[in-house]
Amino acid sequence: MAAAQTTSWAAPSGGFVFDSSARAIRPITGFVGSGVFGTAILSGIDWAAIAPNQKSALVSQNSALVWIPDLNTPAQSQSLGWIPDATRAIWSADSTRAVVVTRTSVLWLAVSNQSVSLEAQWHLSGVRTEWGLMAADSAAKSVLLVAQTRPGRTSFRTSLWFAAEATSPVPVAFAGHASAAVFANNSSSIFIADAVTDQIFRVDQPQTQSTAQAVLNSSSYVSDASGLILSSDDSRIFITDRATSQIGQFDASTGGLITSIATDAGVGSAMLFAPGLFLLDPAQSNQPFMFFNLTNPTQVIFLPRGN
């Protein structure tokens, strides 16, 4: 026999957003599409990566990494002090894994309801080299790292590196200036936007240093690309732009422009927020947050920034 017990009614919540300009995690009151930002639940944050389940988050505060299992009770956090100098983290789509980059390492974490454990780690070396995490696949098992090396006082060079739990970092055969990247959903390919040549390149076997191939060329949409998003079947690639209020939708195989989707402001970055929904950080602090919904119909939804 099945019996329904008393219903309880709760405030509708659209999830949580890290507002980098406010250095705070802010809840969304209401659902995306009719939501507003609520009062910050946590402030003074260096950076934060919120899991797609909108429940937990990895947060760097005063240069110390902590894990918050439930953002509804942010005070209950667990210190991850054994991961010093963390600069960025990306979650897997199912929120069970996260990859973290520090100044000297890339680490893979398994996250459960109760704990965070280390699954793999690679040391990142290089004299006068700063490492960054550019993209991860949907399982957060493969990552694309960017290394910026300063051989001289005024010169620097940038290189891309592929790493996975079982694969130590190897250089990616890409000679351009990567401004955004995304892993394919259904293959090991990586799509990389080159801000110098205004092209999107595809690297099919990054772990074998296969040559990058240009798949599309667009000075209008690639020159100031801030994020790449792939449809679930990898057939369409969406390019967000920092300067213009447009998202270009391209055919990933032919490189042809399908359509242009208007946004409410320039986009600073794009990241997975929830299945089929991407959070578009505004390029400027006084502009609204936006969400890019890949489900039918594809649309941009704004979220008023509030005070």
Q: Contact positions toward other proteins, by CB under 8 A?
A: 1-13, 29-31, 33-36, 38, 245, 264-265, 286-288, 301-302, 304-307
Separation between Cα atoms, residue 16 and residue 27, nearest integer Å: 4
Nearest approach, Cβ of residue 301 and other proteins (Å): 6
Residue among 194, 187, 210, 214 nearest 202 (CA): 214
Residue among 205, 248, 208 nearest 225 (CA): 248
**How many CB atoms within 10 Å of residue 110?**
15
268: Cα separation from own chain's centroid: 11
Q: Where would I find the H helices in 188-280?
A: 219-222
Nearest approach, Cβ of residue 26 and other proteins (Å): 12
Nearest approach, Cβ of residue 37 and other proteins (Å): 8
Q: Compute, in degrees rounded to 10, the torsion defined by CA atoms 7, 11, 15, 16.
A: -140
Q: Which is nearer to other proteins, 12 or 151 (CB)?
A: 12
Q: Which is nearer to other proteins, 10 or 166 (CB)?
A: 10
Nearest approach, Cβ of residue 11 and other proteins (Å): 4
Q: Which is nearer to other proteins, 191 or 289 (CB)?
A: 289
Q: Which is nearer to other proteins, 93 or 237 (CB)?
A: 93
Cβ atoms of 282 and 266 closer than 8 Å: yes
Report the DSSP pairing between strands 267-274 and 116-123.
unpaired
Length of the chain, in residues? 307
Q: Look-up: residue for tokens 């009614």?
A: 9
Q: Which is nearer to other proteins, 60 or 226 (CB)?
A: 226
Nearest approach, Cβ of residue 302 and other proteins (Å): 4
Nearest approach, Cβ of residue 283 and other proteins (Å): 10
HSE-CB for 275 with a 13 A CA cutoff: 4
Structure tokens at 253: 């195989």
Q: Which is nearer to other proteins, 296 or 307 (CB)?
A: 307
Nearest approach, Cβ of residue 259 and other proteins (Å): 18
Q: Which amino acid, residue 259?
A: T
Q: Which is nearer to other proteins, 151 or 275 (CB)?
A: 275
